[in-house]
Amino acid sequence: MDGDMAQARRRMVQTAFNRTHSYPRVLIAQSLVGREGLNLHEACRVVLLFHPEWNPAVMEQQVGRVDRIGSRWEWLADAWKKGKLAEFPYLHVEYLVFQGTYDQYQHDCLEQRRRALNAQLFGALLDERALDRIPSYWRPRLADAAPDFTSP
């Protein structure tokens, strides 16, 4: 999918992609096309990002196309809870970044920003790397001190 694809064709491809036993099985979308207004969650639980962004919120938008209420991942997680699946399903997000390129530098910056954003969005007091530097006996106390957004 790219910006030149007509809206009606986009909707047709999106609908076909969301059918579990239909084609296309792989959907390649430009960053701008694949970040907003697309619902790809009904049949997909693997996202391959091959164009790093500077803004982690843009990446969250792209992943958000498959990470939604009523998604394939949620359906599989419910099946796992009921004992119908042996292994817990995951939403897989992968990055295609070539070592030694500018994209690697950009991806490293994005990862640093993503960790900070996750700490802010999900109530973590420290990001993942900072938490790794804290002695293990302090971690439970930090976890208890963090806000809990799971209950109403």
pLDDT tens per residue, range 40-93: 777 777 888 877 777 888 887 778 777 888 888 888 889 999 999 999 988 888
Is it the case that residue 150 has pLDDT exceeding 90?
Answer: no
Could you read off the pLDDT of 29-42 as tens digits, one per residue? 766 666 666 677 77
Place 100 in a pLDDT band, splitting at 50, 70 and 90.
very high
For residue 151, the model assigns a pLDDT of 63
Q: Is residue 110 part of a domain?
A: no
Domain, as residue range, for 12: 7-98
pLDDT at 149: 66
| Domain-embedded: residue 111 | no
- Does residue 56 lie in a domain region? yes
Continuous segment of H or E residues that includes residue 110:
helix 102-121
The answer to whether residue 22 is domain-embedded is yes
Predicted local distance difference test score (pLDDT) of residue 78:
92
Interatomic CA distance for residues 96 and 104, integer angstroms: 9
Task: Report if residue 121 sits inside a domain.
Answer: no
Say if 34 falls within a structural domain.
yes
CATH of the domain at 18: 3.40.50.300
pLDDT at 57: 80
Q: What is the pLDDT of residue 80?
A: 92
Indicate the number of domains in the chain.
1
Give yes or no for a cis peptide into 147 (omega within 30° of 0). no
Task: Identify whether 66 is part of a domain.
Answer: yes
Paired tokens of 101: 């390129």
Place of tokens 């796992």: 80
Q: CB within 8 A of 73, min separation 6: which ones?
A: 41, 45, 66, 67, 89, 90, 91
Tokens of 120: 């802010």
Residues 6+ apart with CB under 8 A from 125: 119, 142, 145, 146
Residue 140 lies in a domain: no
